């Protein structure tokens, strides 16, 4: 039997770096949402052991793949709490990659989170959502978010999650300039003296939540990692300039880059931007796509 699941991309609508910890990880205050654009995973339980296949050349298929690591972590934990269970613990996961790799869109983390959730359900839900999120954190700091579901506010390194008011919808145009960014390099180069304060955005989020109103993120877009990534990868400056030409309602780099997203309240303007960007991208690996904000975290198909 083959089970299929959708594995969405995420964007960071704002991201403030608030401090550097002793282990050199950074504490954040970030608002994230999933998009209705993503990868497709299929789970084949007839395989012995864990195996992964992926149709993207830059994604490893060995035990370093985040899906492989997620499945192994799950089965190890499962066999510890159910040592006498007779159910066969093997799976082959096929990944149909649509989310660009190293793009700030959380592709690998999303795949890992969906794998943990699908396996948990398949094996009788032995782990709570909290336990799965803790397991996910061992794989990457964005994994708990994908298990929690969005939109959500994340603090700490990304593990303290709070549900946020629903977001005012926008048409989202995402542009991946064909450049993979090394997340650790971007974080290492953050100058904490230059990162912005979080108060204004926090008030806006709490206000919307308190009034039960949808949150308009247009005026809140901010990413402390954007100037850092632009210094290391100057080609990103041109990406912002090109997208700004479409006069979107908002424009930002997501995560540690390299993708940018533009928000449009006008669907026609979004379509035009999408069409022109698709026609003019001369970078062979560049990608443009249109999406909407997604709610919730049940991605089983
Ligand atoms: C940029 C974001 O996507 C924003 O949501 C995340 O903070 C990063 O998520 P990610 O790519 O899954 O990154 P991880 O695999 O967790 O970490 C990669 C590397 O980035 C750095 N890192 C990551 C997260 C964090 N809060 N502080 C860090 O300093 C660490 O050097 C870490 O070794
Ligand atoms: N299942 C997977 N999907 C994508 N990349 C994976 C996967 N497993 C391992 N990787 C590796 O992880 C690295 C980062 O890929 P990913 O696409 O998740 O980055 P990202 O979108 O920049 O992440 P983030 O937004 O969380 O910073 C790549 O080098 C890739 O080879």
Q: Based on the domain organization, do 37 and 71 belong to the same domain?
A: yes
224 among known catalytic residues? no
Instruction: Identify whether 299 is part of a domain.
Output: no
* Residues 247-272, mean pLDDT to the nearest whole number: 98
On whether both 36 and 123 belong to a single domain, the answer is: yes
**Residue 301 in domain:** no
For the chain, give the percent of residues with pLDDT over 90. 81
| 115, 145, 163 - which closes a domain | 163
The answer to whether 156 is a known ligand-binding residue is no
What sign does the CA torsion over 242, 244, 250, 253 have?
Answer: positive
Q: Domain check: are 103 and 201 in the same one?
A: no
Locate the ligand 2 atom nearest the alpha carbon of residue 52 and give its number. Answer: 1
When comparing pLDDT for 164 and 12, which is higher? Answer: 12
Question: Is residue 300 a part of any domain in this protein?
Answer: no
The answer as to whether 62 is a domain residue is yes
Mean pLDDT of 56-81: 96
- Which of the four pLDDT bands, split at 50, 70 and 90, describes residue 300? low
- Ligand 1 — pocket residues by CB below 6 A? 12, 15, 25-26, 28, 30, 106, 109, 140-142, 157-158, 183-184, 187, 255-256
Q: Which domain holds residue 70?
A: 2-163
Question: 76 C-alpha vs ligand 2 centroid, how far in Å?
Answer: 23
> What ligand is nearest to the CA atom of residue 158?
1
Instruction: Quote the ligand 2 centre to 54 CA distance (angstroms).
Output: 12
Residues 100 and 149 in one domain: yes
Read off the pLDDT of residues 92-147 as tens digits, 9 standing for 90 and up. Answer: 999 999 999 999 999 999 999 999 999 999 999 999 999 999 999 999 999 999 99
Q: Residue whose CA is closest, atom 20 of ligand 2?
A: 102
- Let me know whether 152 and 34 are in one domain: yes
What is the rounded CA–CA span in Å between residue 1 and residue 170?
Answer: 38
Checking if the pLDDT of 188 tops 80, the result is yes
* Whether 27 and 146 share a structural domain: yes
* Ligand 1 centroid, distance to 142 Cα (angstroms): 8
Residue 102 assigned to a binding site? yes
CATH of residue 183: 3.30.70.890
- Per-residue pLDDT at 87 exceeds 80: no
Backbone conformation region of residue 216, classed left if phi is above 0, alpha if psi is from -120 to 50, else beta: beta
Reduce the secondary structure of the chain to three states and give it as a string. Answer: CEEEEEEEEEEEEEEEEEEECCCCCEEEEEEEEEEEEEEEEEEECCCCCEEEEECCCCCCCCCCCHHHHHHHHHHHHHHHHCCCCCCCCCEEEEEECCCCCCCCCCHHHHHHHHHHHHHHHHCCCCCCHHHHHHHHHCCCCCHHHHHHCECEEEECCCCEEEECCCECCCEEEEEECCCCCCHHHHHHCCCHHHCCCCHHHHHHHHHHHHHCCCECCHHHCEECHHHHHHHHCCHHHHHHHHHHCCCCCEEEECCCCCCEEEEECCHHHHHHHHHHHHHHCCCCCCEEEEECEECECCCEC
> Annotated catalytic residue: which of 39, 97, 142, 249?
142
Q: Closest-lying ligand to the alpha carbon of 41?
A: 2
8 with 299: CB under 8 angstroms? yes
**Closest residue to atom 30 of ligand 1, CA basis:** 184
Which is more confidently placed, 150 or 195?
150
110 annotated as belonging to a binding site for a ligand: yes
Q: Specify whether 153 is located in the same domain as 114.
A: yes
Among all ligands shown, which has an atom nearest to the Cα of 101?
2
Same domain? For 34 and 155 the reply is yes
The confidence score (pLDDT) of residue 201 equals 76
Q: Looking at the domain assignment, is residue 154 inside a domain? A: yes
Task: Tell me the mean pLDDT in the region 195-223.
Answer: 83
The domain spanning residue 38 has which CATH number?
3.30.230.10
| 86 has catalytic annotation | no
Q: What is the ipTM of this complex?
A: 0.95
Q: Positive or negative, the Cα torsion across 76, 78, 82, 85? A: negative
**Closest to 180 (Cα-Cα) out of 285, 56, 262, 278:** 285
Which residues, including other chains, have CB under 8 Å from residue 150's CB and lie 6 or more apart? 10, 32, 33, 34, 164, 294, 295, 296, 297
Distance from the alpha carbon of residue 141 to the mean position of ligand 1, in angstroms: 6
| Total domains in the fold of the chain | 2
């Amino acid at each position: 039997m083959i089970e299929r699941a959708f594995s969405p991309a995420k964007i960071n609508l704002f991201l403030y770096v608030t401090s550097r910890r002793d282990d050199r990880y950074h504490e954040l205050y970030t608002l994230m949402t999933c998009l209705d654009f993503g990868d497709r995973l299929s789970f084949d339980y007839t395989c012995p052991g864990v195996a992964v296949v992926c149709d993207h050349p830059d994604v490893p298929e060995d035990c370093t793949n985040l899906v492989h690591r997620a499945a192994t972590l799950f089965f190890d934990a499962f066999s510890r709490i159910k040592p006498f269970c007779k159910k066969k613990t093997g799976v082959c996961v096929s990944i149909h990659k649509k989310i660009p790799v190293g793009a700030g869109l959380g592709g690998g983390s999303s795949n890992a989170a969906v794998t943990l959730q699908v396996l948990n359900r398949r094996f009788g839900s032995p782990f709570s959502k909290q336990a799965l999120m803790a397991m996910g954190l061992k794989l990457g700091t964005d994994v708990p978010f994908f298990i929690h579901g969005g939109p959500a506010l994340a603090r700490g390194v990304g593990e303290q999650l709070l549900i946020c008011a629903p977001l005012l919808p926008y048409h989202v145009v995402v542009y991946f300039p064909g450049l993979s960014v090394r997340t650790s390099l971007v974080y290492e180069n953050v100058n904490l003296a230059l990162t912005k304060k979080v108060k204004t955005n926090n008030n806006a989020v709490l206000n919307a939540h308190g009034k039960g109103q949808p949150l308009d993120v247009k005026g809140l877009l901010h990413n402390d990692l954007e100037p850092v990534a632009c210094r290391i990868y100057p080609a990103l400056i041109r990406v912002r300039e090109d997208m700004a030409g479409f006069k979107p309602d908002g424009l930002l780099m997501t995560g540690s880059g390299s993708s940018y997203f533009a928000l449009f309240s006008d669907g026609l303007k979004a379509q035009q931007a999408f069409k022109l960007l698709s026609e003019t991208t001369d970078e062979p690996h560049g990608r443009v796509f249109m999406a909407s904000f997604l709610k919730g975290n049940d991605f089983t198909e």
